[in-house]
């Protein structure tokens, strides 16, 4: 899949020096029912396990990104949203944590989960009042605040290194450096596109799809994620969705579209009819 040229993106909010825990330290989490084992649900479950381990190690910011990956893979995954709320609350992002818990409550009929979410929301609102107008408290997410120039430069270097690794078919190395790029600048769209390409190279098609889907959410007018997501869906056997994405790429006039891939997309869309 094509890796797009680096473009401007916004960045990382400062996390508090001593974050106060809201849910993890005071309440046991409710029991969650495992969703249907689709490829996206499997990816979500894997990233949730990663997030759980990071929370135990008090690496809260990394845990938040793991749970965010899980939510990107399966937006209706109750456990992913609930635990993302926990991690965001620990970091002081009370407004965003409340949003995740409210959404988790809407997605489940489980009374225990709904009650736990409401308990957490009540505590978070109290903390939100104490925090006043802090960027986290008013609803900003990790990665939505200003990024230091040095951090942005590091992210762009990691992105460029990842693209170079992809050109050399060193996909595992690319995955590592591109993950560093998105951790340093979480709204860098092209890094998600490139990481999708690395995942395609590693035959990690569900992971690739999640990256391309998030890239499209960040930049709905871009073309590169369309082609990459079509490739991932075709590999996952989701041919009708792949066909539509190939057709969208073939018809795109976005700045990052590539004529040779447009021609290829037309052929692939026709074969999938």
N- to C-terminal Cα distance for the chain? 21
Q: Write phi, then psi, for 217 (nearest 5 degrees).
A: -65, -40
Instruction: Looking at mean pLDDT, say which of 7-11, 86-90, 145-149, 243-247 comes out highest.
Output: 243-247
Q: Give the SS3 label for residue 11.
A: strand
Query: What is the distance between the alpha carbons of residues 215 and 189, in angstroms, rounded to a whole number?
Result: 5
Distance of CA 165 to the CA centre of its chain: 22
pLDDT value at residue 61? 84
% residues pLDDT > 90 (the chain): 47
Query: What is the distance between the alpha carbons of residues 93 and 100, in angstroms, rounded to a whole number?
Result: 11
Residue-wise pLDDT for 215-262, tens only, equals 998 899 999 999 999 999 999 889 999 999 999 999 999 999 999 999
Residue-wise pLDDT for 142-154, tens only, equals 444 556 778 889 9
Tokens of 129: 């009042």
Tokens of 242: 């792949």
Residue 260 burial (CB < 10 Å; 0-12/13-18/19+)?
exposed
Q: Give the SS3 label for residue 145.
A: strand
Residue 145 burial (CB < 10 Å; 0-12/13-18/19+)?
middle
| The pLDDT of residue 206 is above 70 | yes
pLDDT value at residue 147? 60
Residue length of the chain: 273
Tokens of 79: 């456990």
Residue-wise pLDDT for 22-57, tens only, equals 333 344 466 665 555 567 888 889 999 999 999 999
pTM over 0.85: no
pLDDT value at residue 143? 47
What number is the average pLDDT over the span 204-220?
Answer: 89
């Amino acid at each position: 899949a094509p890796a797009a040229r680096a473009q401007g993106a916004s960045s990382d909010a400062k996390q508090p020096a001593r974050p106060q825990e809201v849910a993890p330290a005071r309440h046991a989490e409710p029991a969650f029912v495992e969703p249907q084992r689709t490829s996206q649900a499997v990816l979500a479950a894997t990233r949730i396990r990663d997030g759980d381990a990071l929370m135990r190690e008090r690496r809260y910011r990394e845990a938040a990104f793991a749970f965010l990956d899980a939510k990107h893979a399966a937006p209706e995954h109750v456990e992913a949203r609930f635990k993302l709320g926990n991690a965001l609350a620990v970091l002081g992002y009370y407004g965003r944590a409340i949003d995740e818990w409210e959404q988790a409550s809407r997605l489940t009929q489980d009374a225990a989960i709904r009650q736990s979410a409401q308990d957490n929301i009540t505590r978070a609102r109290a903390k939100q009042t104490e925090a006043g107008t802090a960027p986290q408290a008013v609803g900003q997410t990790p990665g939505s605040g200003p990024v230091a120039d040095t951090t942005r430069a590091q992210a762009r270097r990691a992105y460029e290194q990842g693209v170079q690794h992809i050109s050399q078919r060193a996909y595992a190395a690319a995955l590592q450096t591109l993950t560093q790029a998105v951790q340093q600048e979480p709204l860098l769209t092209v890094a998600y596109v490139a990481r999708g390409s690395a995942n395609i190279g590693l035959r990690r098609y569900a992971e690739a799809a999640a990256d391309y889907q998030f890239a499209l959410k960040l930049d709905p007018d871009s073309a590169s994620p369309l082609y990459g997501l079509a490739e991932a869906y075709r590999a996952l056997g989701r041919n009708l969705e792949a066909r539509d994405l190939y057709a969208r790429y073939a018809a795109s006039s976005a700045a990052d579209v590539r004529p040779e891939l447009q021609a290829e997309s037309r052929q692939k869309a026709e074969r999938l009819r």
